[in-house]
Amino acid sequence: MLYLEFSRRADSLKDAILSAIQDVRKANIDADVIRVDECNLVTMAEIGRRMGRSRQLVHQYITGQRGPGGFPAPACNLSHGKPLWQWCAVSYWLVQNDLLRVETWEQARVVEAINTELEMAHQREFDPALAKEVSERCG
């Protein structure tokens, strides 16, 4: 596995990421991009870190002790009592409640969309028949 890191100027985060992916593919180094290194699954502590707030405050939003309620449900659990949330959904809720800049949510959407497409491309390569069936039946 090869890990590459890019720093570049572009009109947008989307353009920077997509041009980096294209550059890797054109570099003829027998490498491809599997995902953009920004995990969409986050812990309560990571939500707090990304907000610049405490884990305790995030817990209060989750339980409805603070804020307007309606915090997104966890996407999954690593183990009992260790839930993970989708950052894109959480950042949207935070933006809707004036707790986070809209640009942060927009960046989360871009990264999630790119990672989703990269993962589907990998699935199409790994098991084309399954990927086609899933696409047809879910699309």
pLDDT, tens only, 10-59: 999 999 999 999 998 899 888 888 888 777 899 999 999 999 999 999 99
Distance CA 70, CA 67 (A): 9
Task: Give the single-character DSSP code of 11.
Answer: S
Question: Does this model's pTM top 0.95?
Answer: no
**Is residue 12 in a domain?**
no
**What pLDDT band is residue 5 in, cutting at 50, 70 and 90?**
confident
Write out the residue range of the structural domain in which residue 88 sits.
17-139
Q: Is residue 11 part of a domain?
A: no
| pLDDT grade for 7, boundaries at 50, 70 and 90 | confident
3 falls within a domain: no
- Please give the angle made by the CA atoms of 7, 90 and 79, to the nearest 5 degrees: 100
Considering the domain boundaries, does residue 93 fall inside one? Answer: yes
Number of domains comprising the chain: 1
